[in-house]
Chains A and B, each alone.
Chain A
Amino acid sequence: MNFTQTSTCKILAEMEPMFHRLGDRARDLGLELSVWNSEGLRVGEFEPNCEFCRTVFEAGGGCMDRVREIAASVSQDGSPVATCLSGGCSVVAVPIRKRRRIVGTVVTCWPGQSWLDEEFVARRCDELHLDHQTLSAMVRKVCGRNQQKCEELLPWLEWVVENEQALHTANNELATLSTNLSTTYEELSLLYSISGSMRVTQSPEAFLQAVCEEVREVMNLSAAAAVLHAHPPAVHEDTVVISGDLSLTNEQVMLLASTQIMPMLVENNHVVVENQFQWAAHPDLGKEVRNIVAVPLMGENTLGMLLAFNKESADFNSVDIKLMNSIGNQSTVFLTNNMLYADLQDLLMGVLHALTATIDAKDPYTCGHSNRVAIISKRLAESMGLPAQRVQQIYLAGLMHDIGKIGVPESVLCKPGRLTNDEYDAIKKHPGLGAKILGGIRQLDDVIAGILCHHERLDGHGYPQGISGDEVPLDARIIGLADCFDAMSSDRTYRKALPLEAVVSEVQKCSGTQFDPKVVEHLLSWDLEALLKELCQPAKTVFPIRIAQEDAV
């Protein structure tokens, strides 16, 4: 088997630096050097180094035709040649090999011993129409090697060519090794960075987006995408994230994933590799997708999939697949944890809502009060620019602010008329009772203060402790206002709801004594009519706060 001409040319072209080094060494020794490919064609221009050679060459006395024949024969049978030509030129030719195959010939030549013979010089000068004296002078400078020298040069040239080739190969290997090492480092660092960035409070979309960006860069893809199935399906929708340039829209990626890839994933032992991708059902949509790797995000159920599109300048190989599998597995761990976290969070919220619903159930007139206070408190906290974590804390405190009423007799709670002092004292116990009920739950520690102090006033006339000013926690000031606002604007057992103007003027009147003026300012800056209307609507989702997400505003 032989290299084709184009492939030998390419191989020789890659060896160019080596020929330059050889040429330099030859020149130092007063030798001319030329390179021939396996077809017997000269590679590059032949430019004689020494003046003598150049003169003879330009006068047409060069021996290129003979050298070509010699190069061709060396390329053919691989045996080196050392000979003197009739034109006076001495030639040494050795083969160049790549992967043990001859890809060309290196030829060195120089003016041979014949040129020392005056008669020979005179004859050649006549043939070439050159000046005898000038040429003789040039010859004396460069000439003098005989056939024996020629044969001595042969092993030297073979040795140099061999060494240069070894150097060339070593350089190439080093380059390949470095490239591979750098790729390996990138892959490793990708895995490190993904496992390092798995914070359970991150949203799955943000996590997968970051994963796709990294995957695209490290694997040299035009695009990477992730499809995430809804969890739980009834409440949420499937999502798609894409990084990079992809001719498909999110919906098209979803279609591709569900109709084409998923059945293959199921059939294909959990990974799909398509180096000649075709989308049978939608050839026009799929035409810009050359190749694809897909791995499932597989927990107990299929959570979704990761997709790699169009690896640049190569097919996907097992290295890519292992990497994708590993990233898929890591992502699955994250998603599973995230879902567990969300489930726990939902469970907690569900339990808390159920708990507060028991209070509201005791008094149908206050039905929904806890929930409304929670929502108003949350809005106030948000509007005051508090961080997400704190907003959630205030929401929870708002939700459970009346939980202590479970310890207040129903006869007192639902009494339509005026309360006696004893009855009022019983009512005043509910913030303390609430704090006590929830006091055993470590995770709700931050919520307690808001519950315990929601009936305290800035002027110190509140209960149960009668603290004043800055001693009243901000959470409690927010919830206290939300509580009174909702109490005044809804019907109660002992009175109808006050008109909005009356509520507003009451709030304004008590600003600074009962309420924190800063919080009042935020409340009164809203469209309160719209707020009341909205609060009457049944809640769209059961839990307006799901998880304190970092990337949530």
Chain B
Amino acid sequence: MSVKKILVADDEAHILHVVSMKLRNAGFEIITAVDGEEALELCISERPDLLITDFQMPFMTGLELCTQLRRQDATRDIPAMMLTARGFDIEPEEMEAAKILAVLAKPFSPREVLQKVNELLATVGAEQE
């Protein structure tokens, strides 16, 4: 099985570092973006296997980002997971529409993120087979 590529998008450096480090140590290939627009560009150019995104980012929120992804064939199927400090602001319908598979509210444990990532990749992998 090839190494899975994960894009982590967050404008807060510490979250980016913590999540990337945990996932990189677990054997994933990690690319990072510091705002929604960069994340969208990287989704198109790099086609990651999973997107982990913050909700509140400059230029484009995580929700807008996911909505944009669903509009293009190339990125439509990239599974997305959201890390947010405002979990209470996202409506279930919005999540459903943007196909966000999981939401973790900050502060989260890095182990929890890794576990969720493995779960999501396993589910998505099983669906594709």
Contact = CB atoms under 8 A, between A and B. Distances in A.
Interface of A: 1, 99-100, 172-173, 176-177, 180-181, 184, 271, 273, 317-319, 321-322
Given A1-B59, A172-B13, 20 more contacts: A1-B37, A99-B34, A100-B35, A100-B37, A100-B38, A173-B13, A176-B12, A177-B14, A180-B12, A184-B107, A317-B106, A318-B85, A318-B86, A318-B105, A318-B106, A319-B85, A319-B106, A319-B107, A321-B105, A322-B107
Interface string B85-129: 111100000000000000001110000000000000000000000
Interface string B56-67: 001100000000
**A271, A273, A318 — which one has the most chain B CB atoms within 10 A of its CB?**
A318
Interface in B13-65: 13-14, 17, 34-35, 37-38, 58-59
7 contacts: A1-B59, A99-B38, A100-B37, A173-B13, A177-B14, A184-B107, A317-B86
Contacts of A322: 105, 107
Interface residues of B, number: 18
A453 B4 CA distance: 82
B48 to A, nearest CB: 19
A42 B107 CA distance: 42
Interface in B71-87: 84-87
A176 B14 contact: yes
A318 B13 contact: no
A321 B87 CA distance: 10
Interface of B: 12-14, 17, 34-35, 37-38, 58-59, 84-88, 105-107
A500 to B, nearest CB: 70
Contacts, number: 43
Contacts of A184: 107
Contacts of A319: 85, 106-107
**B13, B38, B87 — which one has the most chain A CB atoms within 10 A of its CB?**
B13
B34 to A, nearest CB: 6
Say whether chain A's binding surface is mostly helix, strand, loop, or mixed: helix
Contacts of B58: 99
A184 B38 CA distance: 29
B103 to A, nearest CB: 10
Given A176-B13, A177-B13, A180-B14, A318 B84 contact: yes
A276 to B, nearest CB: 12
A181 B15 CA distance: 11
Nearest to B88: A273
Nearest to B60: A1
Contacts of B86: 317-318
A325 to B, nearest CB: 11
Contacts of A173: 13-14
Contacts of B14: 173, 176-177, 180-181
Contacts of A273: 88
A172 B11 CA distance: 12
3 closest A-B pairs by CB: A317-B85, A318-B105, A173-B13
A364 B99 CA distance: 81
A99 B35 contact: yes
B33 to A, nearest CB: 10
Nearest to A273: B88
Contact of B87 (A100, A172, A180, A318): A318
A6 to B, nearest CB: 15
Nearest to A176: B13
A172 B13 CA distance: 9
A173 B18 CA distance: 13
A99 B107 CA distance: 25
Contacts of A181: 14
Contacts of B38: 99-100
Contacts of B13: 172-173, 176-177
B58 to A, nearest CB: 6
B104 to A, nearest CB: 9
B19 to A, nearest CB: 14
A172 B12 CA distance: 11
Contacts of A177: 13-14, 17
Contacts of B88: 271, 273, 318, 321
B113 to A, nearest CB: 14
A173 to B, nearest CB: 4
Contacts of A99: 34-35, 38, 58-59
A273 B85 CA distance: 13
A173 B87 CA distance: 24
A146 B84 CA distance: 55
A184 B107 CA distance: 9
A177 B86 CA distance: 20
A180 B13 CA distance: 10
